[in-house]
Amino acid sequence: MTDKTASDILRIAVAQLNPTVGDVAGNLVKAREARADAARQGADLVLFTELFLAGYPPEDLVLKPAFLKACERAAQDFAGDTADGGPGVIIGTPLKRKSGTHNSIIFADGGKILAERYKLDLPNYGEFDEKRVFQAGPEIQGPVNFRGVRLGIPICEDIWGDAGVCETLAESGAEILLVPNGSPYYRGKVDVRHQVVIRQVIECGLPIIYANQLGGQDELIFDGASFAIGSDKTLAFQMSQFEEAVNVTTWKRNRTAAGAQNRNNAAAGAQNGNNSEGWVCSEGPMSKIPEKEEADYRACMLGLRDYVNKNGFRNVVLGLSGGIDSAICAALAVDALGEERLRAVMMPYRYTSKDSLTDAEDCARALGCRYDIVPIFEPVEGFLHTLTQLFEGTKEGITEENLQSRARGTILMAISNKFGSMVVTTGNKSEMSVGYATLYGDMNGGFNPIKDLYKMQVYALARWRNTHVPPGALGPSGEVIPNNIIDKAPSAELRENQTDQDSLPPYPVLDDILECLVENEMGVDEIVARGHDRATVTRIEHLLYIAEYKRRQAAPGVKITKKNFGRDRRYPVTNRFRDGG
């Protein structure tokens, strides 16, 4: 039966915060500030996210004994804080035990660590490779009694798979499940998470609170959007996406329903509807989740901001060509960092059009950033003169075109070295897929905010930004990317009257073929069946494969799709496979 001394009200704060991998001391400070905030709001318990004290994902830092010791010290210190009689805490940290090194949480209250729980299902797909550094927990561990309430604490992947963790916890007497997560963003991920949790609620009959990390970590963006699904399978609360928050949610218990929950028949109770009146969220946020263009833009903005700030760069520099890709990267940089932290550089050559010069200047003026013009005629002509004897008797072509790009890349890197500015590189996913980028030229840079956006998605985000200012943006309102940049035919301007469509299919066609090949791993026959020309599909597939060596040398960039280049898609550079060839 239910403990008659237990409280019928439990106030649970969800700390949706932005930790930094490896900054154990700084993450502990953030945790303490969040707990103090939650205490002021009347919280009984604070739920933090997965591996919060370490930052997520810590990757091979977990293999360093000194790092593990620092995390454990921080966990013990934080547990000691709870001796003040304030909120208890659930916080993620790596722990080294006799059974191995585990992705863990500590549960602390009254100045002591009351329990440890270890992640059972270690993800080893896509962006995850936890089996490399962690050992799975030895068994499903039962619920923890917190002030008369039995709480189950599965960790992230434990609720994504079919291991039966939630159902087992319900059968062991858990009343509410609290789940710390490090779930990265991709387009539409919030709906995916909701469906995962609803499926588990149906199985176990218990309300589930899903706390998710916020912030950029290299390519990964953690978007927050923490939420809960009640035992009636409806959304109990929804926190904001892409914003730090400490929100207190109030849960109330109906003792009749709670008695039914504790008869170790949770699954049957869920089927019969007996649990719909158990623990119910009576108060919590209900934030609106952004639509896809806004979500993608904010993910790119957050990723760029955190990469620059967490790595200690004072400012950034990029080549502003008058084209769509560099224009949206400039807008993202100003929105993420402020106009005073961006230097835009136009580097014209003989093929640079008057429109491009005008468009670049108009874009920089609209954004309010510094704008410099550095002509590249002399360095390019110097390279050509130096190579005259070696190139004698050969036809002028791509090699000479690439010298322009490499001169620009060298200038940007010189500015970076001189002034400590990080170079923002601006190639989109369509270009990176087919190798239309120059190594040690336009690929030079430290980070690429649009690396995982196809060309047509870049256009969609540019149009969206011209009519919206995202929350938290430091840039101006109104048209920040001149319409002429959006409307004109894209061109690298490396030769007279050049356009991208001289050698590539139209971008709507190219992007669809690439999405089929990259995201969906479709075969040539399947793609042709969608209405595409076979010769075009096989050519694009060939270009995709032979450009792998370039992508291996590319700067990291924000993950937006389900399968980005890098963590998600690991193809061999040396590869002779061709579908049907």
* Residue numbers annotated as active site: 50, 119, 156
The whole-angstrom separation of Cα 445 and Cα 39 is 44
161 marked as binding residue: no
Buried b (16+ CB within 10 A) or exposed e, 489-500: ebbbbbbeeeeb
| d(C-alpha 343, C-alpha 320), whole Å | 9
Task: Mention every residue, 6+ apart, whose C-beta is less than 8 A from residue 444.
Answer: 409, 410, 412, 413, 423, 425
Q: Which residues contact 271 (CB under 8 A, 6 or more apart)?
A: none
Length of the chain: 581
Q: Is 320 annotated as a binding residue?
A: yes
Q: How far apart, in whole angstroms, are the C-alpha atoms of residue 147 and residue 407? A: 66
Amino acid at 275: N
CA–CA dist 474, 368 (Å, integer): 11
Amino acid at 453: L
Q: How far apart are CA 210 and CA 334, in angstroms?
A: 33
Q: Report whether 319 belongs to an annotated binding site.
A: yes
Determine whether the annotation assigns residue 4 to a binding site.
no
What are the phi and psi torsion angles at 487 (to 5°)? -85, -30
Query: Is 273 part of any known ligand binding site?
Result: no
- Is 550 annotated as belonging to a binding site? yes
Residue 183, annotated as binding a ligand: yes
Token code pair at residue 35: 């707990």
For residues 376 and 380, what is the distance between their CA atoms, to the nearest angstrom?
6
**338 among the known binding-site residues?**
no
DSSP string, 330-377: HHHHHHHH-GGGEEEEE---TT--HHHHHHHHHHHHHHT-EEEE---H
> Where do we find the tokens 């003026």?
365
398 is in an annotated binding site: no
Helices 324-337 and 354-367 meet at what angle, rounded to 10? 10
Q: Binding site for L-glutamine, residues?
A: 125, 183, 189
Residue ranges of the annotated binding site for deamido-NAD(+) are 402, 431, 550
Q: Which residues carry a binding-site annotation?
A: 125, 183, 189, 319-326, 402, 426, 431, 550
Binding-site annotation, residues for ATP? 319-326, 426
